[in-house]
Structure 1
Amino acid sequence: MSRLKKCAAVAIVLLLFAQRAAAEQLPVVASFSILADLVRVVGGERVSVTALVGPDADAHAFDPTPQDAKRLARARLVVVNGLGFEGWQQRLVQAAAYRGEVVVASSGVRPRGHAHEGEHEGGHDHGHLDPHAWQDPRNVIIYTANIAAALARADPDGATVYRANAARYQQALRELDAWAASRFAAIPVQQRRAVTAHAAFDYLAARYGLRLTALQALSTHSEPGARAMGELVRRLRADGTVPVFAENLHNARLLRQLAGEAGLTIGGKLYSDALSGARGPAPTYLALMRYNVDQLARGMQGK
């Protein structure tokens, strides 16, 4: 056999092996990009993950299509955040006639109530849950355990792999949490203040002792009225100079208006409900958190 034919034969064998491996992967659908990243980390090469709402896309504005229903119908496992984040979930599951397990990744997390509209500080529970629990790395340790357990149920042969991957990732989450706590501890308490686009960071604020004022309430569709805007401007003027952050999913028009009227300047951009693309600063959950913490800390320090 000539060398060329040998190379061709090897290529065919490798292709067939790759196709077989792909066919044997567990098909998983995650509701949005952050969850999809967690599933990929825990599942490794044993899973094939599809995110319904991809990077830089808003899950609040997601409108499922027939193609999304087809993706769900082909899945062996569906992973959602829960806490009311995916208001479209049940409708899509029914449309897809999906009969498999729907894993609520936040199961076991102690939920927080959301703040008043236009305010993002703890202690203002109106009976509605804040779904952004992933903003506290300690909660993602729980997410990871739930995902690993669900993958093991769907694929018992991979249980050992899933547990090992989850354990390694949970250690990385603990290290992330310690680093973030140290980063904010270096900032005087009175300086740990900022303005964000919407109320997506209450878990982070509660974890690290921050005071964050949000322009919008939990949903990216709601906007403060003239009275709320006026009150925000008055408060910000009285409080003095604080850093203002845009978000990857939001039009900065209202932020520019607020900042202009309060005499403030918009600083960096935070990632709240979605990862960035692969070339962006937040292509994974760990990168997202490190980027956000660094942006907030630098802004609070006036850098």
Structure 2
Amino acid sequence: MSNTNRSSTTTRLSRRAVLAAGAGAFSVGLAGCTSSAGSTAAADGPVVTASFFSFYDFARVVADGTPIQVENLVPTGLHGHGWQPNASITREIIESDAFLHVGEGFQPWADRAIQTMDDDGVDTALINAREGVELLDLAASLDSEEEGVGEQQGKDPHFWLDPQRAKRAIDNITEGLVDLLPDAEATLRENAQRYKSETIDDIDASYQAIFDAADRDVVQLAAHNAFQYIGARYDVRMRPIVTNLAASGEVAPRTCGRPRRSSPRTTSATSPTACSSPAVPRDS
């Protein structure tokens, strides 16, 4: 194969791989934003209620083979940021043995539930999946040339999309479950270690290989802007087309940036949204 043909094939493969990774990352991110409620199947063990699907899933894997029951509180089609549960959810948390949450400031309803338990002296254990995790600024990996990037303030809560930070969350969850059921410590730690080494490390290596092979270093996001941590971990720039960070609500043309043709040194990956409307100007 000639160098020209080899280069063309490499470009096609790398772009396809990046698109596949983007779809995979989008599904992972969506797992935390549009999740389905569920629970593990243990019968009479301690009950852990989780405020967010991603960490419910982590806990479910770590608790596998133990009597611990893990329940996801967020119903199908709702996300963790702005959901307003009714009083029955707070009662469910209070009646559980442990509440797995994402740290202060991410889910106001969870913060209020924790405050209620503190005020009432409830002994439900708290497991903070975010304990010790350093959060990035919202604009940490955004393309600095994009309009409005400097206006992004605060911290990005989507840390679990970085495999290494996800491993810290798994460790936090494991410690909480060990405290809850010390007799299951060996199984819990074995499950956690296997999950990190066989699943999370594999995801990390796959992402690294994809971005190393790609000949572009910008990812154009036509979806919920939740992927800063991927950009920071793998040294790629995020160029959001949807400028509103919120996952809820409909995308309107006014929230869409103008997609730009990437330079030869950038990687482009998009997914369809309302920004595909003909009303939005596009490069020819």
Fold in common (TM above 0.5): yes
How far apart, CA to CA, are the structure 1 residues paired with 2:84 and 2:278? 30
- Confirm or deny that 1:72 pairs with 2:93: yes
Match of 2:60 among 16, 24, 40: 40
CA separation of 1:37 and 1:55: change in aligned 2, threshold 3 A: farther
- Which residue of structure 2 lines up, in the alignment, with residue 109 of structure 1? 133
Unaligned runs of 5+ in 1: 1-20, 247-251, 265-303
CA separation of 1:27 and 1:259: change in aligned 2, threshold 3 A: farther
Q: Deviation at 1:91? A: 1.5
Structure 2 matches for 1:64-213, cutoff 5 A? Answer: 64-82=85-103, 84-95=105-116, 97=120, 98-115=122-139, 120-121=142-143, 128-172=154-198, 173-190=200-217, 192-213=218-239
CA separation of 1:69 and 1:41: change in aligned 2, threshold 3 A: same
How far apart, CA to CA, are the structure 2 residues paired with 1:148 and 1:124? 38
- Which residue of structure 2 lines up, in the alignment, with residue 268 of structure 1? none
- Does the 8 Å contact 1:121/1:205 carry over to 2? no
Q: Deviation at 1:80? A: 1.1
Q: Deviation at 1:193? A: 2.3
How far apart, CA to CA, are the structure 2 residues paired with 1:121 and 1:79? 34
How far apart, CA to CA, are the structure 2 residues paired with 1:258 and 1:156? 59
- Which residue of structure 1 lines up, in the alignment, with residue 6 of structure 2? none
Q: Deviation at 1:49? A: 1.2
Q: Which amino acid aligns with 2:246?
A: S
- Which residue of structure 2 lines up, in the alignment, with residue 257 of structure 1? 277
How far apart, CA to CA, are the structure 2 residues paired with 1:198 and 1:29? 26
- Which residue of structure 1 lines up, in the alignment, with residue 243 of structure 2? 216
- Does the 8 Å contact 1:26/1:48 carry over to 2? yes
Match of 1:50 among 51, 71, 77: 71
SS at match of 1:167: helix
Match of 1:26 among 37, 42, 46: 46
Identity of aligned residues (%): 26
Q: Deviation at 1:131? A: 0.5
- Which residue of structure 2 lines up, in the alignment, with residue 285 of structure 1? none
- Does the 8 Å contact 2:50/2:100 carry over to 1? yes
How far apart, CA to CA, are the structure 2 residues paired with 1:180 and 1:55? 29
How well do the aligned residues superpose, as a CA RMSD in angstroms? 3.1
Q: Deviation at 1:111? A: 0.8
How far apart, CA to CA, are the structure 2 residues paired with 1:225 and 1:256? 10
Unaligned runs of 5+ in 2: 1-41
- Does the 8 Å contact 1:133/1:203 carry over to 2? yes
User: Which one has the largest radius of gyration?
Assistant: 1
Structure 2 matches for 1:222-233, cutoff 5 A? Answer: 229=256, 232-233=257-258
CA separation of 1:222 and 1:56: change in aligned 2, threshold 3 A: closer
CA separation of 1:237 and 1:181: change in aligned 2, threshold 3 A: closer
